[in-house]
């Protein structure tokens, strides 16, 4: 198969969707298929297997900022690429996101009438989506261009299905389990000797870092040797949280120095190896909880908010702990109890390690490839049926 993987997001900036696309391309190539990534980029790239198109700009979306191209004139470039490459599968991630995904759907059949269009919906936003709500009638035109639809979790399928009903094949984002479970990795020496709680993520309000800091002030009062390690990309919001914690005289909180891009991917597992608990107190808008899977793969017990996206990954007190979202005292109690219960931590970590195997990349990639093959078989069957009908009428 010859597959195009289309991402709407700036290829120069790391993120969950881009990471998913990059590894999916590697998995396809490892299985003997051709895979080409099509994405915007804020810088010129000479990366084999990556075609850049469009200049991205920061746009506010779902309590975050995404970097996407907004030029509506990308259609000609997209059509030229698709005509030249003649892909069997055009797999568009966030297919209704402006502008690149829509242009891929718009130009796909004009470039190759036999191409199969697949869309993966990654997002979930509590309270709905204005773009989907106000633009539904227009977006339906491009939605109908999809032969196959994937959602990364049941909450993601429920979210998009409110606006665009249909069948969504649930295939989660994959995770490189071996990367996080590498037994050769050593803990970071500067964090040894203390019970550590790890937070990894952006310092956005929806991620719940403010709730965690309030909860940790209670934990630290109960257990003065406890430490909270905050890992994430540098930003104005992150600096505000750090300044506020210092102004209040909160002890035991370490904000790890980081660039705008955050800690390099290869270095992150050592932070997990140094932690007794991983905590993600997000307030909502989570479709799957990728950071939870990373922690589970690393063998760290997880405490997270009881929101739909996280509850689809974790079963409370089986392979993690779920607490009421935006409740600092409930979070403080859960963290304190787990820090004081090493046997329970070990049990949760072991169960989480088993659970995460369902999201391993070899398994997820094969699910996607099998879906491609099924869609191609359906297309061939329909074409054969049409030819037979034409033959009968002649």
**Per-residue pLDDT tens digits for 306-321:** 999 999 999 999 999 9
Is residue 272 domain-shared with residue 312, that is, in the same domain?
yes
**CB under 8 Å to 20, separation ≥6 — which residues?**
93, 122, 173, 174
* 62-88 pLDDT tens trace: 556 788 998 888 999 999 999 999 999
Q: How far apart are the first and last CA of the chain?
A: 34
Is residue 307 domain-shared with residue 288, that is, in the same domain?
yes
Give the range among 11-20, 91-100, 275-284 with minimum mean pLDDT.
11-20
User: Which percentage of the chain shows pLDDT scores above 90?
Assistant: 77
Q: What is the pLDDT of residue 256?
A: 93
Is residue 364 domain-shared with residue 332, that is, in the same domain?
no
Most confident among 6-20, 21-35, 373-387 (mean pLDDT): 21-35
Q: What is the pLDDT of residue 394?
A: 62
Of residues 386 and 178, more confidently modeled: 178
The CATH number of the domain where 152 resides is what?
3.40.50.2000
Q: What is the pLDDT of residue 123?
A: 84
How confident is the model over 156-177, as a mean pLDDT? Answer: 94
Q: What is the pLDDT of residue 90?
A: 98
> Cβ distance 226 to 339 under 8 Å?
yes
Q: What is the pLDDT of residue 44?
A: 85
Is residue 188 domain-shared with residue 243, that is, in the same domain?
yes
Is residue 327 domain-shared with residue 235, that is, in the same domain?
yes
When divided into structural domains, the chain yields a total of 2
Of residues 129 and 359, more confidently modeled: 359
What pTM did the predictor assign? 0.87
CA distance 129 to 60: 13
Distances in Å between the alpha carbon of 222 and those of 105, 211, 226? Answer: 56, 17, 9
Is residue 126 domain-shared with residue 208, that is, in the same domain?
no
Is residue 103 domain-shared with residue 194, that is, in the same domain?
no
User: What average pLDDT is seen over the chain?
Assistant: 92
Is residue 165 domain-shared with residue 60, that is, in the same domain?
yes
**Main-chain phi, psi angles of 73, to 5 degrees:** -100, 25
pLDDT higher than threshold 80 for residue 60: no
Is residue 339 domain-shared with residue 191, that is, in the same domain?
yes
Alpha-helix residue ranges (DSSP H) falling in the chain: 16-30, 75-85, 100-111, 130-143, 154-161, 177-181, 209-222, 236-247, 268-273, 290-297, 308-311, 328-339, 342-355, 361-393
Is residue 59 domain-shared with residue 148, that is, in the same domain?
yes
Selection from 172, 131, 136 nearest residue 154 by Cα: 172
Is residue 13 domain-shared with residue 162, that is, in the same domain?
yes
pLDDT higher than threshold 60 for residue 231: yes
Strand-strand pairing, 64-68 and 57-61? antiparallel
Is residue 102 domain-shared with residue 250, that is, in the same domain?
no
Q: What is the pLDDT of residue 311?
A: 94
> Cβ distance 75 to 107 under 8 Å?
yes
How confident is the model over 105-119, as a mean pLDDT? Answer: 95
Give the range among 43-47, 276-280, 299-303, 330-334 with minimum mean pLDDT.
43-47
The domain containing residue 53 runs over which residues?
2-174+360-393
Confidence band for 174, pLDDT divided at 50, 70 and 90: very high
Give the range among 44-58, 181-195, 285-299, 375-389 with minimum mean pLDDT.
375-389
Give the range among 111-120, 129-138, 160-169, 205-214 with minimum mean pLDDT.
129-138
């Amino acid at each position: 198969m010859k597959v195009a993987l289309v991402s709407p997001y700036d290829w120069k900036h790391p993120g969950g969707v881009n990471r998913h696309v990059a590894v999916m391309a590697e998995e396809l190539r490892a299985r003997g298929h051709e895979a080409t990534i099509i994405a915007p980029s804020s810088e010129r790239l000479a990366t084999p297997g990556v075609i850049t198109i469009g200049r991205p700009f920061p746009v506010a979306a779902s309590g975050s900022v995404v970097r996407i191209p907004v030029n509506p004139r990308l259609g000609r470039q997209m059509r030229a690429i698709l005509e030249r490459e003649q892909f069997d599968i055009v797999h568009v991630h966030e297919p209704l996101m402006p502008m690149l995904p829509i242009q891929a759907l718009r130009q796909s059949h004009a470039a190759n009438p036999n191409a199969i269009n697949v869309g993966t919906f990654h997002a979930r936003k509590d309270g709905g989506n204005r773009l989907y709500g106000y633009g539904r009638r227009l977006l339906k035109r491009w939605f109908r261009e999809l032969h196959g639809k994937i959602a990364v979790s049941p909450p993601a399928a429920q979210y998009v299905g409110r606006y665009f009903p249909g069948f969504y094949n649930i295939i989660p984002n994959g995770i490189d389990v071996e990367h996080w479970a590498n037994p050769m990795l050593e803990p970071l020496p500067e964090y040894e000797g203390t019970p550590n709680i790890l937070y990894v993520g952006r310092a956005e309000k929806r991620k719940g870092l403010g709730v965690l800091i309030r909860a940790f002030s209670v934990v630290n009062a109960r257990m003065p040797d406890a430490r909270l390690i905050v890992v994430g990309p540098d930003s104005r919001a992150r600096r505000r949280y750090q300044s506020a914690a210092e102004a209040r005289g909160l002890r035991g909180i370490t904000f790890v120095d980081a660039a705008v891009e955050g800690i390099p991917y290869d270095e992150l597992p050592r932070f997990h190896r140094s932690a007794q608990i991983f905590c993600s107190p997000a307030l909502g808008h989570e479709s799957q909880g990728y950071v939870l899977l990373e922690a589970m793969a690393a063998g760290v017990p997880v405490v997270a908010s009881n929101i739909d996206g996280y509850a689809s990954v974790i079963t409370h007190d089986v392979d993690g702990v779920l607490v009421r979202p935006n409740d600092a005292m409930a979070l403080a109690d859960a963290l304190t109890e787990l820090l004081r219960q090493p046997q329970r931590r070990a049990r949760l970590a072991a169960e989480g390690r088993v659970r995460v195997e369902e999201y391993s990349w070899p398994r997820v990639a094969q699910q996607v490839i099998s879906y491609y093959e099924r869609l191609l078989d359906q297309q061939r069957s329909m074409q054969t049926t049409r030819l037979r009908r034409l033959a009968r009428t002649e």
